[in-house]
Amino acid sequence: MSNPKVSVCIPSYNCAPFLGDAIQSVLEQGYADFELLIIDDCSTDASCEIIARYAESDPRIVFLRNEGNLGMVANWNRCIELAKGEYIHYLFADDLFASPACLEKMAAVLDRDPEVSLVVSARNIIDEHSRIKRVASHFNDGTVSAGARVIRRCLFEARNLIGEPSVVMFRKSQALRGFHPGYSQLVDLEMWFHLLEQGKFAYLGEPLASFRDHPGQQTKVNMRRMLHIDESIHLLRDFAGKPYNGFGPFTLWYLGYSQGYRIWKLHRQGLIDRQTAIERIGRGRDVGRFLSLLPAYRLCNPLFKLRASLTRALFWRLTQTRWR
């Protein structure tokens, strides 16, 4: 297939127990105009044998194996480089499409509105046995918003409200820069911000994909290393000061201090020792000043949480609703 509309990209690494289900969920899509690009990053389990069996029986599957292990982000970027589709939809090797209409519904949004640079759906959170634990959704069905407004809300709430790569679709032309190699845990959110700086955000409230939560996933390893906190600080540094966010000096201080406080809370909860907390906090700020400002932060925090609630309510009023 030379010019498919959509490239579904599966960057594969040691996910043999789940890989067959992921591939099958793509092949069962009702939307026909796609290729399935699977790039294995030198798995040491049975992944390649599983992929090869599927590739032999379906010409829509393009199977490549890297000569050497590139690492997660570089392999994601190789997917972008080799994808032939106008639109790209990632699917992690341990995730699933939850609906056979996933590609059809997401591609239709991009087809209808050329200003949309990122379309996102709600997602099921599933366990290792594919049982649904809950549905994750942070926007109203049919929401269409300026991309900058969504970036601002994610930064203010210090959360990835958008979701993982398995639940988004975007235009390849706007993602040629690739995923930022300076990130590993929040590398997806940094890319979503990059795309949202180029256009609008659209949201479908139906859970079209399922994100698998299991002990062996890379996310769990990264969180034990506190990479999510380190990279939240980097994300603030890279995006919070941009003019479209409109954050004043005090808000910028509060957002930055909150990241340090997340580390301090881990110490207060007994999850890390005091010395580790001090060392991590000291990477980005003066520790003595941080400790001296703790009372002021605790006083301000309830007010900022109230402001976050009001900001969320205002977001609903300012965003459009279409395509229900």
CA distance 93 to 43: 12
CA distance 48 to 33: 25
Is residue 136 in some structural domain?
A: no
Contact 59, 1 (CB under 8 A): yes
Closest by CA to 235, choosing from 322, 156, 171, 137, is 156
Considering 146-150, 245-249, 320-324, the range whose residues carry the highest mean pLDDT is 146-150
Last residue of a domain, one of 45, 65, 93: 93
Residue 52, pLDDT score: 97
**Sequence-separated (6 or more) residues with CB below 8 Å from residue 243:** none
HEC string for 61-82:
EEEEECCCCCCHHHHHHHHHHH
Closest by CA to 210, choosing from 60, 292, 41, 91, is 91
Is residue 239 in some structural domain?
A: yes
Contact 147, 200 (CB under 8 A): yes
Q: Residue range 287-303: average pLDDT? A: 88
Using alpha carbons only, what angle is made at residue 21 by residues 20 and 22, rounded to the nearest 5 degrees?
Answer: 90
> Residue 33 maps to which CATH number?
3.90.550.10
Is residue 168 in some structural domain?
A: no
Using alpha carbons only, what angle is made at residue 247 by residues 244 and 251, rounded to the nearest 5 degrees?
Answer: 160
pTM: 0.90
Query: Position of tokens 């790569």?
Result: 165
Judged by average pLDDT, the poorest of 114-123, 130-139, 222-231 is 222-231
Q: Residue range 218-241: average pLDDT? A: 75
Last residue of a domain, one of 45, 70, 93: 93
Q: Provide the strand spans (E) within 70-115.
A: 87-90, 96-97
Is residue 20 in some structural domain?
A: yes
Is residue 4 in some structural domain?
A: yes
Bridge-based pairing state of the strands 116-126 and 132-136? antiparallel
Is residue 86 in some structural domain?
A: yes
Contact 75, 50 (CB under 8 A): no
Is residue 178 in some structural domain?
A: no
Residue 35: exposed, middle, or buried by beta-carbon count in 10 A (0-12, 13-18, 19+)? buried
Q: Residue range 43-54: average pLDDT? A: 97
CA distance 281 to 188: 24
* R_g of the chain computed on alpha carbons: 21
Is residue 116 in some structural domain?
A: no
**Six-digit token string for 319:** 């965003």
CB burial of 110-123 (b: ≥16 within 10 Å; e: otherwise) equals beebeebbbbbbbb
Has residue 46 got a pLDDT over 80?
yes
- For residue 267, which phi and psi values (nearest 5 degrees)? -65, -45
Residue 115, pLDDT score: 98
Last residue of a domain, one of 71, 93, 115: 93
Has residue 151 got a pLDDT over 60?
yes
Residue 285, pLDDT score: 83
Query: Position of tokens 């907390």?
Result: 277
Query: Position of tokens 């932060």?
Result: 297
CB burial of 235-250 (b: ≥16 within 10 Å; e: otherwise) equals bbebbbeeeebebeee
Has residue 217 got a pLDDT over 70?
no
Number of domains in the chain: 2
- 301: containing domain: 220-321
